[in-house]
């Protein structure tokens, strides 16, 4: 005889089709302490047959001899959150299997599933709750739902799975091999099918996140590209504006050019200004007026000498204009005086003859 813990309270995960809900990928089933440790539930363990692996059907009086390898000797007892089971193995193959480390335990039972979603006291959500739990058999398995802790000779854990049951009212539970899957940082143990469903859902979520990230990245890239195009257009417009002179600026530029050429002609009439820049005109005038030695002088020096020559030329022109005016005035006066004197002389002659 030995004792082992194989059932406890808590939430257990099932694939939807295992509990009659193929529309749900994973179903979270809650086993409350009030149901697990109910007197009727504990009493149902008493003398329940022990089997090697879960049979394909429930253990009954018709197949007990073929399936049973031992029994739970007396009623189960509560041990904290666990159920402690006293076991007797009577079959040689079962004993050898345990000695060869086939030690994990899994309860086959029937129950009613209450499809009312809720939350456990510690904040864990569930989709359905087990009620009226009744044990049919206890199986020695290679791997129980709860993992290696639910075993003969070690601290046991819980590990129930559906078994077939004729009652239309009851949902059946039996054990299957489990896999550990990490969901949102939490490690849970589920069947192969449950693991496949979770893996698929996780991949779909990852793909959705990746697609969303790509959309955001593409959107940002498109915005940056459009901003670049707008900035380029603005720069082109500003450049064109800078190249276009308004009317006043154009008039001023023409006037300044005309003044420069007029000064140049006043200083050195022989200098050709066609096709020359303003600076080139000034330099050509200075060189023409002061000699080739001026050709090596810097632009600032040339500009200064040009301004001096322009001032001198302007002064000379003013003097010439004044002299011309004086000459014109004196000449006119002499002519006028001569005409007056002649007329007076003629007038006197006419009076004498008369």
pLDDT for res 300: 93
CA distance 83 to 4: 8
Quick count: other Cβ atoms within 10 Å of Cβ 266?
A: 16
pLDDT for res 235: 87
CA distance 163 to 215: 48
Stronger pLDDT, 46 or 196, i.e. the higher one: 46
Position 164 confidence tier, pLDDT thresholds 50, 70, 90: very low
- Residues 279-337: pLDDT tens digits? 999 999 999 989 998 989 999 999 999 999 988 888 776 656 655 654 554 545 555 66
pTM over 0.85: no
CA distance 72 to 98: 16
Whether the predicted pLDDT of 254 surpasses 70: yes
Rg (CA), the chain: 59
Stronger pLDDT, 132 or 242, i.e. the higher one: 132
Q: Which two tokens stand for residue 226?
A: 């459009």
What single string gives the DSSP state of each residue in 303-322?
HHHHHHHHHHHHHHHHHHHH
Position 44 confidence tier, pLDDT thresholds 50, 70, 90: very high
CA distance 114 to 35: 12
DSSP state of 271: -
Q: CB under 8 Å to 291, separation ≥6 — which residues?
A: none
Helix 299-353 and helix 247-267, axial crossing angle in degrees, nearest 10: 70
Stronger pLDDT, 170 or 185, i.e. the higher one: 185
Share of the chain above pLDDT 90, in %: 35
Stronger pLDDT, 65 or 338, i.e. the higher one: 65
In angstroms, how far is CA 54 from the centroid of its own chain?
A: 50
- Tell the residue number behind the tokens 């109910």, with chain if given: 38
User: What's the mean pLDDT when you consider all of the chain?
Assistant: 81
Whether the predicted pLDDT of 156 surpasses 70: no
pLDDT for res 239: 78
Stronger pLDDT, 106 or 182, i.e. the higher one: 106
**Nearest partner of 6 among 103, 100, 101, 134, judged by Cα:** 103
pLDDT for res 326: 45
């Amino acid at each position: 005889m030995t004792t082992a813990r194989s059932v406890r309270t808590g939430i257990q995960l099932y694939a939807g089709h295992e509990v009659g809900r193929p529309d749900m990928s994973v179903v979270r089933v809650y086993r409350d302490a009030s149901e697990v440790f109910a007197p009727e539930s504990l009493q149902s363990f008493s003398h329940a047959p022990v089997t090697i692996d879960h049979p394909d059907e429930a253990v009954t009086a018709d197949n007990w001899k073929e399936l049973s390898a031992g029994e739970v000797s007396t009623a189960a007892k509560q041990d904290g959150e666990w159920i402690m089971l006293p076991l007797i193995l009577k079959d040689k193959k079962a004993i050898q299997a345990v000695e060869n480390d086939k030690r994990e335990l899994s309860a086959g039972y029937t129950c009613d599933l209450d499809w009312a979603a809720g939350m456990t006291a510690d904040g864990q959500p569930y989709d359905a709750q087990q009620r009226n739990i009744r044990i049919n058999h206890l199986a020695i398995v290679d791997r129980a739902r709860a993992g290696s802790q639910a075993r003969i000779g070690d601290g046991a854990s819980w590990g129930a799975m559906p078994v077939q049951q004729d009652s239309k009212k009851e949902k059946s539970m039996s054990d299957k091999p489990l896999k550990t899957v990490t969901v949102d940082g939490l490690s849970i143990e589920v069947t192969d099918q449950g693991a496949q469903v979770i893996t698929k859902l996780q991949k779909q979520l990852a793909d959705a996140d990746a697609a969303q990230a790509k959309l955001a990245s593409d959107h940002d890239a498109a915005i940056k590209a459009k901003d670049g195009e707008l900035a380029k257009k603005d720069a082109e417009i500003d450049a064109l504006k800078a190249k276009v002179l308004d009317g006043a600026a154009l008039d001023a530029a023409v006037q300044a050019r005309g003044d420069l050429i007029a000064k140049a002609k006043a200083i050195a009439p022989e200098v050709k200004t066609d096709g020359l820049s303003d600076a080139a005109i000034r330099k050509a005038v200075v060189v023409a007026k002061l000699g080739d030695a001026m050709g090596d002088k810097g632009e600032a020096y040339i500009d200064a000498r040009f301004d001096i020559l322009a001032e001198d030329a302007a002064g000379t022109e003013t003097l010439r204009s004044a002299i011309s005016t004086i000459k014109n005035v004196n000449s006119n006066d002499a002519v006028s005086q001569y005409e007056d004197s002649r007329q007076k002389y003629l007038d006197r002659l006419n009076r004498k003859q008369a």
